[in-house]
């Protein structure tokens, strides 16, 4: 099954062409690294793939849905159902526990609070933080905070996880912890697309796609 299809996608910001005729297909169950230097267009590609931005031209399909044919409200519903996001910054509320940071990510799911907390607890167990449920962000290491962010992204059980430089603020040991969690989630069936400039992080992914000057290039 094709979870993500990008066909002849270009993106321009004024006179700047961030993406140029990009083609990319990601199948269910893959773990893909999008690799490139700063300014290569890889983060723009993730924004387009995650429906956070629309292409200037070309077609994007997520789980078979043509993004160009959807309204903004329909896009929001698509993201909520099919896509989880992890960013370089953790974006955790400092006054909340790990459990409530994850549960609050489900506020718009329509689930009652008890069910949101149940899902949050399960998600934190999946990222190996069952013993840190009541810890607040200042009581966690950088790697643990990123794993809380990962738990928040997968708590809604989306089939596609998009991660933008998720190890960019972490040391080597913490990066290895987070990558190990990604591999475990992928082994459990989550499709993962990971943006990185770090070739060592990319090497942890079975498939690598190289981006330079807004184009997908040979490695």
Q: What is the pLDDT of residues 127-185, one digit of tens each?
A: 999 999 999 999 999 999 999 999 999 999 999 999 999 998 899 999 999 999 999 99
The Cα–Cα gap between 150 and 129 comes to: 11
Does the pLDDT value for residue 218 go beyond 90?
no
The enclosing H or E element of 24 equals: strand 16-27
Helix axes 172-187, 142-154, angle to 10 degrees: 20
Q: Global pTM?
A: 0.92
Instruction: Outline where 12-138 has alpha helix (H).
Output: 42-49, 72-82, 98-104, 113-126
Q: How far is CA 203 from CA 63, 71, 186, 206, in A?
A: 26, 37, 15, 7
C-alpha triplet 201, 133, 205: angle, nearest 5°: 15
Q: How far apart are CA 7 and CA 21, in angstroms?
A: 8
Q: How confident is the model at residue 122 (pLDDT cuts 50, 70, 90)?
A: very high
Please name the residues in contact with 130: beta carbons below 8 A apart, sequence gap of 6 or more: 121, 124
Q: What value does the CA radius of gyration of the chain take, rounded to a whole number of Å?
A: 17
Q: Is the pLDDT of residue 219 over 80?
A: no
Q: Which of 209, 206, 219, 194 is nearest to 25 (CA)?
A: 209
Q: Could you give the CA distance from residue 126 to residue 136 in angstroms, rounded to a whole number?
A: 18
Token pair for residue 27?
């199948």
Sign of CA pseudo-dihedral 11, 42, 62, 123? negative
Q: Residue 99: which pLDDT band, with cuts at 50, 70 and 90?
A: very high
Report yes or no: 18 and 179 within 8 Å, Cβ to Cβ: no
pLDDT band (50, 70, 90) for residue 121: very high
Instruction: List the chain domain ranges.
Output: 2-213
- Per-residue pLDDT reduced to its tens digit, 11-55: 999 999 999 999 999 999 999 999 999 889 999 999 999 999 999
150 Cβ partners below 8 Å, 6+ apart? 86, 127, 161, 163, 166, 178, 181, 182, 185
Confidence label for 187 from pLDDT (cuts 50, 70 and 90): very high
**Facing residues of 35 across strands?**
196, 210
- Residue whose structure tokens are 């993106």: 11
Distance CA 101, CA 29 (A): 27
Pairing of strands 191-196, 31-35: parallel
Superfamily of domain 2-213 in CATH is P-loop containing nucleotide triphosphate hydrolases (3.40.50.300)
């Amino acid at each position: 099954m094709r979870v993500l299809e990008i066909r002849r996608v270009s993106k321009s910001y004024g006179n700047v062409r961030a993406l140029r005729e990009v083609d990319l297909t990601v199948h269910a169950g893959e773990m893909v690294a999008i690799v490139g230097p700063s300014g290569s267009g890889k983060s723009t590609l993730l924004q387009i793939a995650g429906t956070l931005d629309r292409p200037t031209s070309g077609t994007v399909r997520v789980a078979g849905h043509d993004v160009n044919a959807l309204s903004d409200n329909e896009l929001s519903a698509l993201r909520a159902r099919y896509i989880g996001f992890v960013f370089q910054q953790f974006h955790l509320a400092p006054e909340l526990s790990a459990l409530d940071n994850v549960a609050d990510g489900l506020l718009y799911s329509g689930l009652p609070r008890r069910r949101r907390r149940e899902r949050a607890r399960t998600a934190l167990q999946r990222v190996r933080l069952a013993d840190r449920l009541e810890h607040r962000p200042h009581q966690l290491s950088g790697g643990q905070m990123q794993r809380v962010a990962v738990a928040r992204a997968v708590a809604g059980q989306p089939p596609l996880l998009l991660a933008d430089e998720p190890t960019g603020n972490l040391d080597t040991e913490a990066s290895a912890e987070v990558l190990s969690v990604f591999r475990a989630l992928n082994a459990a069936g989550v499709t993962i697309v990971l943006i990185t400039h770090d070739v060592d992080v990319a090497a942890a992914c079975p498939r690598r796609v190289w981006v330079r000057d807004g184009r997908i290039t040979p490695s």
